[in-house]
Amino acid sequence: MFHLVLVGALVAMADDAPKVSPVAPSLPALTKEEETRIETVVDRLILADTGRLRGDDARKAIKDFDKLGPESIPALIRGLTRSAKLEHSCPVVLISKKLIRLLDASTDPVLLEYARDEIGAGIKGSAHARILQDLRFRVSLRKNAVARMKPITPVTKPAADLSTQELAKAVSTTRGISLRGILKELAKRDGKEALDGLTTAAGSSNSNTRFVGREMLDIHLGRMPASSLSEVLKDNRVEARLGAVRVAGTQDKMVPALIERITDESAAVRAEARASLKKLTKTEDFGPEADATSAQRREAKEKWQKWWDGRSEKQR
């Protein structure tokens, strides 16, 4: 009887264990409904970026796309394949950049090998062959880097006793209350390693980690002088730029740097910069819209600059 009870308990534990994707162990198994939802988000991004969705629909499509996490990698690769068969280059570029951010954060060699093999598979004579080739090469580099990594020993010392480098490394291996302590301590530190650790947390696929990471990133950036904050506004990571825009939006002296972000390559950063500038003006809004073309973004930037020049002239 005891044997049967033990077997039953083990089966129940196995049933309760998190299911993993057949693609790679680092990805969760998705239901049919979840897979369909992600495929729809990717398809709508392609429609928005090729001009077939406009206005509020396009803005929502881009916002939903920006929220996709690592679980969307297989769907993104399939969307990349579909986009590569179109004449438009924008969807290929956007999806490629999203994949780079997600795969550069992965330490799963199975997932990286899958991505390398699937990206561009079956596509011949595409105008986007160079982009696909560069992306596969980037994934290969990441896979090789992961293979060289040494196992990380869990942190046991209090956060205040850790070096900034140790804190930044611990962001990827700590969860729960301990992680919050690490991020709070990082927010007090200066330098590139502190910014790197907080940016990693702010871009996490875990919603709790992401929320606390963004909160602490903003505190960290809020301690920076204007010159340093201006540099972060040009950082190559979207999460770092987003945080810098949020903080810059509270300081009048940062308006010129904010205006530069109106033509940012990231729709999320452009939207955040626009929202910050709208708060400062209280009455004006020169865009750009989420689905604006490059020319329309430049036009919006010129209008914001003209407004700022006029305001500065009045204050002299």
d(Cα 173, Cα 179) in Å, to the nearest integer? 9
Helices (H) and strands (E) counted in the chain, each on its own, are 16, 0
Would you state the pLDDT for residue 29? 86
Would you state the pLDDT for residue 87? 66
As a three-state string, the secondary structure of 199-211 is: HHHHCCCCHHHHH
Q: How far is CA 216 from CA 34, 162, 189, 248, in A?
A: 31, 17, 11, 15
Phi, psi of 249 (to 5 degrees): -65, -5
Question: Pick the residue with more confidence: 184 or 85?
Answer: 184
Tell me the per-residue pLDDT of 110-155, one tens digit each, with 9 for 90 and over. Answer: 999 999 999 988 777 777 788 888 999 999 999 998 888 765 555 5
The whole-model pTM stands at 0.55
Q: What is the number of other CB atoms lying within 10 angstroms of the CB of residue 105?
A: 14
Would you state the pLDDT for residue 14? 40
The CATH topology of domain 224-315 is Leucine-rich Repeat Variant (1.25.10)
Q: Helix 192-202 vs helix 176-188: angle between axes, to the nearest 10 degrees?
A: 140
E strand or H helix at 148, and its extent?
none
Tell me the per-residue pLDDT of 209-255, one tens digit each, with 9 for 90 and over. Answer: 888 999 999 999 999 999 999 999 999 999 999 999 999 998 889 99
